[in-house]
């Protein structure tokens, strides 16, 4: 029997006009974490507008696997100037076609090319870190990931202007997208200066990338990068190809999905490793056996199984904190019928930190992903990269890149973690970033 919508529980702490927006902006983890016991579906307010937070893995799977029930209105509104029509906001047949169109960019043969570039950049980064100094490694990590992602998107001397624009604009734009998505529509529209700046930077970034796309078409050669794959692919079923503007959308999406998230996760994997001496000892033992004092290479990745368990556990603990959908017509969910246009939200972070699904869920324990234990891990609740039709198409590349970058760092350094410093999660991206990774760098 379907319950009346008025009976659906509302999250505590709602403020007049603002709803729960301030709680979400100030401390999203505390707010999200407080709602798991309120019910399978909990009403929250983004300003005066209600949204509906799903709190169980079972309902999240239902939302994720029934793609025809949803649209992506909230996300589309937040990114409409920077990303006009990318795969993450398309729906239905358009979404299916675009998934096929971008898939060649992430095939195994391409990943092998990207891995070579990623390893070269990671080794150079690790070698040039300032030994003997106290550093906040997050500042350097952001530069590393920006350079890596932009270098796998496109190559060539003529791409430097676009890469520089990426370095200047992407970090600010990503932070602003998260902020825009958390604010009520009326408040978002009233931020005239921020909105004007967002539109201006978006136009500038798109123009710089457009110059590269045009030059690639003129050159007509495969450079072994993402842009080459997107330009050269023709869909076998329809004969469709991607236009310049569609390619720009997808390149920006790769950056939006990759830069902040990869930097955050690399920061966390280094921090979590060094915070646990037993984990650090096993990581270094494996690095010594496989890499030694040599440079990290792409072929080392499958020989680092323990580092992979550390990465998998870090992905679990620091999963994206929020994702949204828009109901495409009335939708039955958790015993309630939600109206057309209702905003649905869910938190992979909430599920991954719930003892119902993972024993001692707030403890970083790589052993839960070891060969003898992994069978007990409930894979149906692993939501880091999404599930179903919207699973992140670049997930294998992200895992590959973070593994190479972490391996390069540990191959060069045995840093001392400043345990007196406060390291807290910061909601500047869809994956919460460590506020700092405070280290004293000691060369191995």
> What pairs with residue 438 in β-bridges?
136
**Would you tell me how many other CB atoms lie within 10 Å of the CB of residue 230?**
24
Among 91, 98, 139, 147, smallest CA distance to 118 is for 147
Of 360, 361, 255, 278, which is closest to residue 316 (Cα–Cα)?
361
- The residue ranges of the chain whose pLDDT is under 70 are 1-2, 182, 184, 428-430
All structural domains of the chain: 5-440 (1.10.630.10)
In angstroms, the CA 96 to CA 101 distance is 9
Structure tokens at 139: 């500042």
Helices 160-182/137-153 angle, 10° precision: 120
Distance CA(178)–CA(24), nearest Å, equals 11
Q: According to the model, what pLDDT value does residue 373 have?
A: 86
Q: How far apart are the C-alpha atoms of 172 and 175, rounded to whole Å?
A: 5
Q: How does pLDDT run across 59-98, given as a tens digit for each residue? A: 999 999 999 999 988 788 888 888 888 898 888 899 999 9
Q: pTM of this prediction?
A: 0.91
pLDDT attached to residue 1: 53
Q: What is the pLDDT of residues 327-350, one digit of tens each?
A: 999 999 988 999 999 999 999 999
- Which pLDDT score, from 0 to 100, does residue 382 have? 86
The pLDDT of residue 78 = 82
User: Dihedrals φ, ψ of 327, to 5°?
Assistant: -65, 130
* Of the candidates 29, 41, 51, the residue with the CA atom closest to the CA atom of residue 348: 29
Distance of CA 1 to the CA centre of its chain: 38
Say what the pLDDT of residue 156 is: 79
């Amino acid at each position: 029997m379907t319950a009346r919508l008025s009976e659906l529980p509302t999250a505590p702490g709602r403020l007049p006009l603002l709803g729960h927006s301030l709680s979400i902006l100030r401390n999203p983890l505390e707010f999200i974490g407080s709602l798991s016991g309120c019910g399978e579906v909990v009403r929250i307010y983004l300003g005066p507008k209600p949204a509906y937070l799903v709190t169980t893995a079972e309902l999240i799977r239902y939302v994720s696997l029934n793609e025809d029930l949803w649209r992506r209105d909230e996300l589309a509104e937040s990114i409409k100037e920077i990303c006009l029509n990318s795969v993450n906001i398309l729906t239905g047949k358009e979404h299916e076609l675009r998934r096929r169109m971008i898939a060649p960019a992430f095939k195994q043969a391409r990943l092998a090319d990207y891995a070579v570039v990623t390893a070269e950049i990671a080794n150079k980064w690790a070698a040039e870190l300032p030994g003997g100094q106290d550093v906040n490694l997050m500042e350097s990590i952001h530069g590393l990931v920006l350079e890596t992602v932009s270098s796998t998107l496109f190559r060539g001397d003529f791409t430097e202007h676009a890469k520089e624009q990426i370095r200047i604009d992407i970090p600010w734009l990503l932070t602003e997208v998260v902020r825009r998505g958390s604010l009520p529509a009326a408040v978002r529209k009233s931020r005239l200066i921020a909105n004007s700046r967002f539109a201006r930077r978006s136009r500038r970034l798109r123009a710089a990338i457009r110059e590269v796309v045009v030059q690639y078409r003129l050159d007509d050669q495969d450079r072994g990068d993402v842009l080459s794959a997107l330009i050269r692919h023709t869909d076998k079923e329809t004969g469709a190809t991607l236009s310049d503007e569609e390619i720009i959308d997808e390149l920006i999406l790769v950056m939006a999905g990759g830069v902040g998230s990869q930097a955050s996760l690399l920061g966390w994997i280094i921090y979590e490793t060094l915070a646990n001496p037993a984990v650090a000892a096993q990581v270094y033992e494996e690095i010594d056996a496989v890499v030694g004092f040599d440079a990290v290479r792409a072929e080392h990745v499958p020989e680092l199984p323990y580092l992979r368990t550390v990465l998998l556990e870090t992905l679990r603990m620091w999963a994206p904190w929020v994702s949204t959908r828009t109901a495409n017509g009335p939708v039955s969910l958790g015993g309630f019928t939600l109206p057309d246009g209702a905003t649905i939200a869910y938190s992979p972070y909430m599920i991954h930190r719930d003892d119902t699904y993972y024993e001692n869920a707030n403890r970083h324990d790589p052993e839960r992903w070891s060969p003898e234990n992994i069978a007990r891990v409930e894979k149906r609740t692993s939501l880091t990269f999404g599930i179903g039709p919207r699973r992140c198409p670049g997930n294998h590349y992200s895992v590959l890149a973070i593994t190479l970058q972490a391996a390069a760092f540990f191959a060069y350094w045995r840093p001392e973690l400043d345990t007196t410093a406060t390291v807290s999660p910061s909601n500047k991206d869809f994956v919460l970033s460590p506020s700092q990774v405070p280290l004293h760098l000691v060369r191995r």
